Structure 1
Amino acid sequence: MAILEISVVPIGIEGSSLSSYVADCLRILKKENIRYELTAMGTNLEGNLKDLMRIALKMHEVPFKKGVPRVLTTLKIDDRRDKQGTLTGKKKAVQNKLN
């Protein structure tokens, strides 16, 4: 199982608010029924890497469908194959070291 962090930034829009674009991207995740966590600077997804890449492309297309001329999408992928990693597991590992 892979973990993917995605940030989709529309460029060339009026104003500085991105929340409507973020909401539209999250609607895709809800339809896909995938585990995700919204953060202040992006969204973390958990699942099969091929599925995550397909979903990331759908999210990247959201601003274009709203007429935005340019989109900057940043991805980070944690693809661990020696053991199964999860969003919860990564956070727990750090918390355990703090205790």
Structure 2
Amino acid sequence: MPSLLAPAGFRDCPGGSLAILRPRFFRPKPLPIPPVMVLLEMSVTPLGVGQSVSEPVAKCVGLIAQSGLPYELHAMGTIVEGELSEVLALLQACIELMAADHPRVSCVAKLDYRRDARGRLRGKVESVERRLQQADRSAEATP
């Protein structure tokens, strides 16, 4: 028997709690979302191992290489390009790989989320380099 105190749209449930009534035909449909390509810049390093971390970092970079995703290693970390779920799973795998040998791990991660572009790992750098060349040509042309 429904409670007289229950607000409209609610009904009594076993155990005395209230639940929102929803029509049986209401089933939210998943929205079609195209795969999102992201750039993930990450740095995963062990703490308390001394000045050099190149050996444990090399293990993580090896794991990144095995993933098959495009990546670029630089002095302060690694940039990986792929679908959001892929790069996040790779980040987790790198952290777990590092944590297997070291009790404390530091991780810095930055994502560039963009739906409409692929190949940005090199494309972003090439775009800046083109602009620099244009600026150089403009500077040379002015007396």
Same fold, judged at TM 0.5 (above): yes
Q: CA deviation at 1:85?
A: 5.0
SS in 2 for 1:34: coil
Q: Kindly, what percent of the aligned residue pairs are identical? A: 39
Q: Output the amino acid matched with 2:48.
A: G
Q: Distance in 1 between matches of 2:119 and 2:113?
A: 8
Q: CA deviation at 1:49?
A: 1.0
Q: Does 1:6 align with 2:31?
A: no
C-alpha contact 2:65 2:71 (8 A) present in aligned 1: no
Q: 1:83 to 1:35 in 2, by over 3 A?
A: closer
Q: Distance in 2 between matches of 1:2 and 1:44?
A: 10
Query: Rg bigger for which structure?
Result: 2
Q: Does 1:23 align with 2:23?
A: no
Q: Larger relative contact order (C-alpha < 8 A, sep ≥ 6)?
A: 1
Q: CA deviation at 1:39?
A: 0.2
Q: Distance in 2 between matches of 1:75 and 1:6?
A: 4
Counterpart residue number, 2:132: 98
C-alpha contact 2:43 2:109 (8 A) present in aligned 1: yes
C-alpha contact 1:60 1:71 (8 A) present in aligned 2: yes
2:92 to 57, 77, 97: 57
- The unaligned stretches of length 5 or more in structure 2 are 1-36, 134-143
C-alpha contact 2:72 2:78 (8 A) present in aligned 1: yes
Q: Output the amino acid matched with 2:99.
A: F
C-alpha contact 2:44 2:106 (8 A) present in aligned 1: yes
CA RMSD of aligned residues (A): 1.2
C-alpha contact 1:2 1:85 (8 A) present in aligned 2: no
SS in 2 for 1:53: helix
TM-score (norm 2): 0.64
Q: Which runs of 4+ in 1 moved over 3 A?
A: 82-85
SS in 2 for 1:54: helix
- The unaligned stretches of length 5 or more in structure 1 are none
Matched pairs, number: 97
